[in-house]
Each structure stands twice: as C-alpha cells, then as structure tokens.
Amino acid sequence: MKIKAGITLVALMAAAIAPAFAQSSGADIYKAKCQSCHGAEGTPNPGIAKMMGVKPVSDPSVKSLSEAQMISDTANGKGKMTAFKGKLTDAEIKASVDYFRSLAK
C-alpha cells in the first residue's frame, strides 16, 4: 500500500510541476525572440537601430507607449518588426513585453 501511495504522490507532484517548466519566463522569451534586434539590455546595436528603425527602451517615444500598445505591436508587428501572434501565446507576449519594459528602469 505504501508503494502505491508513494507512486500516486510522485505522479501528482509531477503533474503540478510540469506546467511551471512548460512556461518560459519573460526574460527567456525576450532573449530567444527579441534580443537580436532590441539588444540584451534594451539598446539595439547602431546598425540594427539604423536599418530597422529600432529605438532603445530608454527612448522617450518607447517609454511613453502603454503596455497594451506594446503588446499589440508585438502581437501584430509594427514597421519592420514581424508579428508574433501565432508564434507566441498571449501570455508569452505579455511576459516578454513586461521584461522589455523592466529594462528601462
């Protein structure tokens, strides 16, 4: 009986932990999908900035954008930026935007 209860407990713990591993943090998503253009610290390299029109997170025009606008721009694309709707979940888009916004602080 103790073995059966132990196996059940392990199965329940695994089921509870699995979703935590399935979700990536905003930092992980940003590093994988955004960093190449927006820079590790939210500042693009000068070549990317000029070619793609990417502004640093510290730029007043970027800082003035609402979270909702950044989420929309990330989901639907803006300018030369590709749309991530369908490539990332809504939660992943929000997490990456939250992380990007934190770089301005």
Please tell me the predicted confidence (pLDDT) of residue 12: 46
For residue 37, is it within any domain? yes
Q: Would 97 be classed as within a structural domain?
A: yes
Rounded CA separation 90/99 (Å): 14
96 domain residue, yes or no: yes
Average pLDDT over residues 51-80: 96
pLDDT at residue 105 in the model: 83
Q: What is the pLDDT of residues 6-61, one digit of tens each?
A: 455 444 445 444 444 445 799 999 999 999 999 999 999 999 999 999 999 999 99
Buried b vs exposed e over 22-61: b needs ≥16 C-beta within 10 Å? Answer: eebebbebbeebbbebbbeebbbeeeebeeeebbbbeeee
- Predicted local distance difference test score (pLDDT) of residue 24: 79
Question: Quick check: 81 and 73 in contact, CB under 8 A?
Answer: yes
CATH code of the domain containing 48: 1.10.760.10
Q: What is the pLDDT of residue 65?
A: 97
Indicate whether 45 belongs to any domain: yes
